[in-house]
Amino acid sequence: MAIRPIVKYGDPVLHTPAAPVEQIDDSVRALLTDMVETMYAAPGIGLAAPQIGVGLRVIVIDLSVGEDRDQLIQLVNPEFILREGDQQQDEGCLSVPGYGGTPVRPARVEVKGLDPDGVERVYSGTDLLARAFSHEIDHIDGLLFVDRLSPLKRDLMKRRLRKRVREGWET
């Protein structure tokens, strides 16, 4: 179990679609454990494997930020089976620290994937959970919330982010 460094905007792994997990084995379960600990330490409500430099389709979500471990969702190869409606709320990202935006997200989602034991799970979510699923699945698709902003806001933010990348993300 290890807290791993979170990669920042500009790292190629964040902008590349992740590969499906072929088999859930001890290395994938260890990855999930590390992701959960990294998410809680950040602290955040979700994390995708590319955010710790691993190009696999693996996500973790816990809206309670570790307060209620029964809320922890760990999914391998998640995919949407339903997206409906629209919502737009402030959103941030551990890989884009200090920046936020209001991308359009589905108001309601259903997502299926495999749990750490390889059992298929289906989750339904609205509001914050729907946004979290959408945000994390975007990560494994090689997208960031910045890519979902209006063209003008996206271009302005990407210019600022490219400058931060050139500066080495100094704070």
Active site residues: 136
Geometric angle at alpha carbon 1, from 142 and 25, rounded to 5°: 65
Task: Report the C-alpha gap between 131 and 105 in whole angstroms.
Answer: 6
Contact in structure between 39 and 47 (CB atoms under 8 Å) = yes
* Contact of 110 with 82, CB cutoff 8 Å: yes
* CA 14/CA 145 separation, integer angstroms: 11
Q: What does the alpha-carbon distance between residue 165 and residue 147 come to, in Å, rounded to a whole number?
A: 17
Side-chain-side CA neighbours of 54 within 13 Å: the count stands at 20
